[in-house]
Amino acid sequence: METKKKKVLFLCTHNSARSQIAEGLLRTLYGDRYEAFSAGAEPTTLNPYVVKVMLEIGIDLSGHHSKSINEFRKISFDYVVTVCDKAKDLECPFYYGLKVDDVSFPDPSDFKGSDEDILCKVRDVRDEIKNYIIKTFGEQK
């Protein structure tokens, strides 16, 4: 008998970087157990540096777009994860799920420097989120 996949929503302010990374990683690593979604309180556009660093590890986000949390209000989630302090503190307290997890990762839109400097910092964020995904969802059945 096939078990139903648990639904996970990753929330961030703009749904342009951190929540998109988390969605892509969860789908790729544990898509057999979880349906991953991401959204933002103030959706903008996908960060091009995020697309590049995710492609480096074989995850293509080029077809993704930023989505509003309003698109998901009628879906019942098993887990809701805020990946930035602003989403946790100001914009997303109405979300409900069996588990709400508040974590915070640096915002790639704040990174300054050369393209390579920014890419290095975005890679660090990607890897931090990957470690969180593995630790949080990898051991759950």
Q: What is the DSSP string of 73-114?
A: TTSPEEEEEE-SHHIIIII-TT--EEEEEE-----GGG--S-
* pLDDT score for 41: 84
Show Cβ contacts of residue 37 under 8 Å, excluding neighbours closer than 6 positions. Answer: 7, 8, 9, 10, 23, 72, 75, 77
Residue 93 scores a pLDDT above 70: no
Residue 13: pLDDT over 80: yes
pLDDT value at residue 91: 47
Mean pLDDT for all residues in the chain: 88
pLDDT of residue 99: 58
Interval 44-63: pLDDT, tens? 999 999 999 999 999 999 99
| Domains identified in the chain and CATH numbers | 6-131 (3.40.50.2300)
pLDDT at 43 over 60: yes
Active-site positions read: 12, 84, 92
Between 56 and 101, whose confidence is greater? 56
